[in-house]
Amino acid sequence: MVMTTVSLQLNMPIQSARILNEETEPSTDRTAPDTEALTQGSQRVNALCNALQQATENFERYTEELFLSHKEQIVRLSIEIASKILAKDQHERNYEIEKIVSQALQAVPISKQTMIRLNPDDLKTMQQMTDANQFTTPEGVHFSGDVSVGPAECMIETDHGVIEYLIEEHLKQVANALSQTKDETK
């Protein structure tokens, strides 16, 4: 038997050592999978997955309950924000009255005598747009100025009655829709 000398330089201390001898019997193969350890590991992974699934379900339930418990405040805050934005746009005249009138007319059956009452400043804008052929007034529709109508609003009088196209009414409809939507998620 020939002995060979080997020198090694290690970056860390040796934790354990084992001397191998060709003449000794091979030891049991420690690389073979330990069935019991694998089973226990699999059970632990399954338990962790179940715990994670339960935590996810609890979190989803908590967020839904939290949202539902604050729905009134959320709806109120949303409407207040929308109201402030609309008030700013009204004040700065940052809206298109012709689109508002067109949308209002789509919701109303036109009769022989349909009168649309607008804020006097909006009436001027509509007359300018009509004169410039940027808005076509449907047959039987007439406009009049009314100081009681706010900017970006209109009132339509037909043979069937009066339809108010007011911002406050739209905000109320949005608030009702938001409240109903939240109620349906319960």
8 A C-beta contact, residue 79 and residue 171: yes
Q: Determine the topology of domain 71-184 in CATH.
A: hypothetical protein PF0899 fold (3.30.2320)
- Model confidence at 131: pLDDT above 60: yes
Give tens-digit pLDDT for 40-91. Answer: 888 888 888 889 899 999 999 988 888 777 878 888 888 888 888 888 888 8
pLDDT recorded at residue 82: 84
Q: What share of residues in the chain are helix, strand, coil (percent, to 5)?
A: 50, 10, 40
- Model confidence at 147: pLDDT above 90: yes
| Helix-helix angle 35-69:71-91, to 10 degrees | 50
Domain ranges in the chain? 71-184
CB atoms near residue 152 (< 10 Å): 22
Give tens-digit pLDDT for 5-33. Answer: 666 666 777 666 666 665 555 555 555 56
Amino acid, res. 114: T
